């Protein structure tokens, strides 16, 4: 594996942070590449060296976080819901600026949609309508109920300043998932 120049990584991180910071201040459509380069303290050329445009930057930033959440799910796939949720809520807490900005921003509705779609893929194999409490219910209804609830609780938790620690959220959301899946 080739060694990546730390200056490139540092520039890319500064550019991504600049975009998130700017989105916390103003609508995505009002942000220019010049705004991003000024905030990141890099040239416009550096931004264009790494990203086609601000839409590419946003898409890649969202994909980076969705992919990381997928890795967390994969690593915790054998765990009970309460245990599996803890790394999730810790990740959300550690990246709260990104998540609060994406969930609050009118300029990033694609994040909420992608987050929703990601959770559908993660939960779809957990639904059992052949036995137990969900017998006879429609799988797609249960899936939408669980995913919409999960997105909603994450959004509530982040937008309210994370009033409970990740451990408490993991435990309570895990119990709720156990009751409903």
Q: What is the dihedral of CA 130, 134, 139, 141, to 10 degrees?
A: 160
Domains of the chain: 1-51 (1.10.10.60), 63-180 (1.10.357.10)
Taking the C-alpha atoms of residue 152 and residue 5, their distance in angstroms, rounded to an integer, is 39
pLDDT, tens digit, for every residue of 56-106? Answer: 999 999 999 999 999 998 998 888 888 889 999 999 999 999 999 998 866
**What's this model's pTM, rounded to 2 decimal places?**
0.87
Mean pLDDT of 27-42: 96
pLDDT band at 1 (very low <50, low <70, confident <90, very high): low
In 3D space, the residue among 157, 156, 148 whose CA is nearest the CA of residue 90 turns out to be 157
Say whether pLDDT at 163 is over 80: yes
Mean pLDDT of 24-47: 95
Mean pLDDT of 6-28: 93
pLDDT, tens digit, for every residue of 113-162? Answer: 899 999 999 999 888 888 888 889 999 999 999 999 999 999 999 999 99
């Amino acid at each position: 594996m080739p060694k990546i120049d730390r200056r490139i990584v540092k520039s890319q991180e500064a550019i991504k942070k600049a975009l998130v910071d700017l989105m916390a201040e103003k609508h995505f459509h009002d942000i220019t590449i010049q705004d991003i380069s000024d905030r990141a303290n890099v040239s416009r050329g550096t931004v264009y060296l790494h990203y086609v445009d601000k839409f590419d930057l946003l898409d890649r930033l969202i994909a980076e976080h969705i992919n990381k959440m997928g890795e967390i799910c994969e690593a915790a796939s054998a765990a009970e819901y309460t245990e599996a949720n803890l790394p999730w809520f810790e990740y959300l807490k550690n990246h709260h600026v990104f998540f609060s900005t994406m969930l609050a921003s009118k300029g990033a509705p694609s994040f909420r949609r992608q987050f929703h779609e990601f959770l559908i893929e993660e939960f779809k194999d957990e639904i059992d309508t052949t036995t137990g409490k969900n017998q006879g219910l429609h799988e797609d209804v249960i899936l939408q109920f669980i995913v919409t609830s999960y997105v909603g609780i994450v959004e509530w938790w982040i937008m309210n300043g994370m009033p409970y620690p990740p451990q408490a959220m993991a435990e309570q959301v895990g119990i709720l998932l156990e009751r409903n899946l």
